[in-house]
Amino acid sequence: MTTTRTTIAVLLGLVACLWLLPSCEDSSRTGSDGDDDDGTADGDDDNDDDTPSDDPQWADLSGTVLAPAGTFPISGALVYVTQSDPPVIPPNAYCYECEDMTGKKWTLSGADGGFTLPDVAPGTWTLVTRKGFFQRARSITVGADATMAVPPELTTLPGDASTDGLDQIPRYAVLLNEWDASQDLLAKLGMGEVGPAGHLIWGTETFTAFNDAVTHTGYPASAELFASQETLNSYHMAFFPCTSDANAISFIKNHAEMLREYVSAGGKIYNSCCTAIWTEAPFSEYIDFNGGQGSADPTDVRDIGRISSSAYSTNGQVNDQFLADWLSVVVPGSDPAHFPFANGYVKIDALVELDDGHGLEADNGVVRPKDWVTDNNAYPGSPLMVTYNFDCGKVFFSVYETSHGDSPGLTPQEYVLLYLILEVGVCEGTYVQE
């Protein structure tokens, strides 16, 4: 009798399982949060599971990541879907380690900004697009058994922050000047409105500008950026372009340790052209600039490394394959072996690898400056664009400034500058996925 009852119970269980088939599916799609997988809220079928599936009901998402201006693609952007809230980017310099992608569908955009997220379960998700300190999060509803084209407005990086936190942008501090117009470059990126001649329309910028008395009035003095370590550290990246008219050599040298602390805390520095003192004063170890201008102390001159009294042009070898691939998209017909540059004044003699404990853990503490582009013509073998890590921050120095000429669009070398400005903001390490 007992055997008969057991047999009946088993048969009834099988019938129930067949009748309610979804509840008996293989548990391999259960997310790491213990929920299920149809993209609904917790307690229903919620998971960030990244496990591939042959189930035809799952959809493939494809789209393109664009710059905030919407005029050119962004490569190497992180794109993923999640049931959780995306991380909030801290409003200050910090050590940015790559996100844990465990249980998530994720990818990085290609040279043309394109991406594909395969096998996303039907339901409502949060689609997150991030490049460095730019992040956009949008709700997206995925249908079953489909290849879904993601509208570009969902994955275009934001040019301004939103009050709801779904759009976040970098906190950039920019010293204004007329020789290397970083403010115009960032406006062309989409962080401000651009006038017909390619210049920032004052007052539309979404970065913080500091005036050094040669560009525009109505902005705080450059010295205010250095009012305290806390003030400087409240920015993700500081731009020290090609001028120092209102920033005496003594001022820069007196704040060198503050700059060093800023980068050590995760801050990023942009420095260019013949005011390399912004790099040399706090970090004299890693770039050997031309000559030192005959001074016993190179930081006694602001135009460190200057080799030309007037601007010189050259062409360079692009050494990074991802940069070269992207340039072939945004500057069609360009040759990465002979990429054009204009408005240079400085020469770098050598880059110095140094085992001083300030490098990345992956490099065993060795600081390894990277030569992104090498001069082919004017001074063959000399680095033109250099980045290096210092603790968890980064420094970007460019021999070349933004191009003069009232160009409404981006010049070839401005594309390189923008690529590296964005690249120094990306996370350290690799995206974890267990």
Q: What is the pLDDT of residue 47?
A: 44
At residue 192, φ and ψ (nearest 5 deg) are 165, 165
Q: What is the pLDDT of residue 285?
A: 94
Using an 8 Å Cβ cutoff, are 271 and 421 in contact?
Answer: no
Q: 272 with 157, same domain?
A: no
Q: 102 with 141, same domain?
A: yes
Q: 134 with 98, same domain?
A: yes
Q: 130 with 178, same domain?
A: no
Residues 6+ apart with CB under 8 A from 103: 31, 32, 33, 47, 48, 49, 50
H-run or E-run covering 130: strand 123-131
Q: What is the pLDDT of residue 292?
A: 55
**Residue 139 burial class via C-beta count within 10 angstroms: exposed 0-12, middle 13-18, buried 19 and up:** exposed
Tell me the pLDDT tens digit for each residue of 185-235: 999 999 999 998 899 999 999 999 998 767 788 899 889 999 999 999 999
Q: 225 with 328, same domain?
A: yes
DSSP state of 188: I
Q: Which amino acid is at 345?
A: Y
Task: Determine the structural domain holding residue 36 and report its residue range.
Answer: 27-168
Look at the chain and report how many structural domains it folds into: 2
Q: 244 with 272, same domain?
A: yes
CATH code for the domain in which residue 232 is found: 3.40.50
User: Is residue 431 in some structural domain?
Assistant: no
Q: What is the pLDDT of residue 248?
A: 74
Alpha carbons 37 and 123: distance in angstroms, whole number: 9
Tell me the pLDDT tens digit for each residue of 365-381: 999 999 999 999 999 99
The list of the chain residues with pLDDT below 70 reads 1-56, 213, 243-247, 292-300, 404-405, 433-434
Which of 129, 144, 168 lies at the terminal end of a domain, its last residue? 168
Residues 6+ apart with CB under 8 A from 88: 165, 168
Q: 179 with 300, same domain?
A: yes
Q: 161 with 205, same domain?
A: no
User: Is residue 226 in some structural domain?
Assistant: yes
Listed in sequence order, the DSSP H helices in 90-196 are 152-155, 182-186
User: Is residue 8 in some structural domain?
Assistant: no
**Separation in Å, CA 114 to CA 66, 110, 122, 308:** 9, 5, 22, 42
Q: 357 with 244, same domain?
A: yes
- The angle at the Cα of 159, spanning 182 to 148, to the nearest 5 degrees, equals 135
Using an 8 Å Cβ cutoff, are 233 and 255 in contact?
Answer: no
End-to-end Cα separation, the chain, in angstroms: 50
Q: What is the DSSP string of 384-419?
A: EEEEEEETTEEEEEESB-PPPS--SS--HHHHHHHH
User: Is residue 86 in some structural domain?
Assistant: yes
Q: What is the pLDDT of residue 14?
A: 37
Q: 140 with 189, same domain?
A: no
Q: 151 with 181, same domain?
A: no
Q: 131 with 188, same domain?
A: no
Using an 8 Å Cβ cutoff, are 269 and 394 in contact?
Answer: yes
CATH code for the domain in which residue 71 is found: 2.60.40.1120
User: Is residue 75 in some structural domain?
Assistant: yes
Task: Single out the residue of 308, 275, 322 nearest to residue 382, CA to CA.
Answer: 308
The two three-digit tokens of residue 294, written as one number: 């005959």
Which of 149, 168, 187 lies at the terminal end of a domain, its last residue? 168
Task: Single out the residue of 393, 83, 95, 411 nearest to residue 267, CA to CA.
Answer: 393
Which of 113, 147, 168 lies at the terminal end of a domain, its last residue? 168
Alpha carbons 232 and 228: distance in angstroms, whole number: 7
User: Which of 354-379 are b and which e, b meaning 16 or more Cβ less than 10 Å from the residue's Cβ?
Assistant: beeebbbeeeeeebbbbbbbbbbebb
Supply the angle between the helices 412-423 and 321-330 in degrees, to the nearest 10. 130
User: Is residue 161 in some structural domain?
Assistant: yes
Alpha carbons 113 and 130: distance in angstroms, whole number: 12
The two three-digit tokens of residue 232, written as one number: 């400087």
